[in-house]
Amino acid sequence: MKIAFISDIHGNAIALDAVLENLKRNLVDKVCVLGDLCYRGPEPKRSLDLIRSLDTDVIKGNADEWVVRGVREGEVPGKALELMNEERNWTVTRLDQEDLDYLQSLPTELKFEHGGISIYAYHATPESLFEVVLPDAADSDLEAKLMQKESSQLYVYAHIHKPYIRYINGKIIMNIGSVGLPFDGVAKASYGLVEIEDGNIRTSIQRVSFNQEKVVELYHHENYPNAEMMSGVIRNGKL
């Protein structure tokens, strides 16, 4: 059984196309989507439609919450608040009410078991869509923030756009990075692949190339409010 965890598409449908094609080539059996579907990219509607067409488990991320109700003071640096709401408003104009209702209705966690392996997935932490838990956090912090709510063998999250895999007390924590906006300096889409067979488990981070310059072209063609900065992220894989 091959299970792919994808997240943080952020309206980059070109990167999502590349990842979905990669999933087909890897003969993935199941796809789970961990949020942040359409905000901050040039193709919010197409990205959301692609995700919905998968007819699979999807949970909510902080950016999905922002699309629904706006970015609030204290959730981002003060100097970025006005611009990020401008980006949010641009995104909303590309969606319809059904899309907003869909984002509003998404659950915030995913729990299941396969082949004797229990899996617990969420966007940022089990208690928050917004809290940041970085790859270099102490084991004690990872346990306290990511592993306390549910007892599982594998914990999967997204949000930070920096993929990694850690092992603590015989359990696995995996951050799957970002399909649309990688922040770790590798300008390729990332996703997490979990392979389960006969009670054994193998985890890996997959990196997928996509047409960066086409994405940059779309930011400008669609008059995205923050096109220059977002184009730099796409080209360099970091803020």
The reported pLDDT for the residue numbered 118 is 97
Report pLDDT for 239: 85
Q: Please state the φ and ψ torsions of residue 175, each to the nearest 5 degrees.
A: -105, 130
Residue 222 has a pLDDT of: 97
Looking at residue 57, what is its pLDDT?
Answer: 98
Domain residues for 219? Answer: 2-236
Q: Which residues, in sequence order, are CB contacts of 79 under 8 Å at separation 6+?
A: none
Strand partners, 197: 200
Identify the pLDDT of residue 68: 98
Which tens digit of pLDDT belongs to each residue from 161-186? 999 999 999 999 999 999 999 999 99
42: domain CATH number is 3.60.21.10
Q: Which residues of the chain have pLDDT under 50?
A: none
The phi and psi torsions of 126 (rounded to 5 degrees) equal -60, -25
Domain total of the chain = 1
Q: Phi and psi dihedrals of 77, rounded to 5?
A: -55, 140
Cα–Cα distance between 138 and 168 in angstroms, integer? 10
What does the alpha-carbon distance between residue 44 and residue 41 come to, in Å, rounded to a whole number?
6
- Residue 167 β-bridge partners: 172
Instruction: Read off the tokens for 126.
Output: 């089990």
Q: In the Cβ-directed half-sphere of 206, how many Cα atoms lie within 13 Å?
A: 25
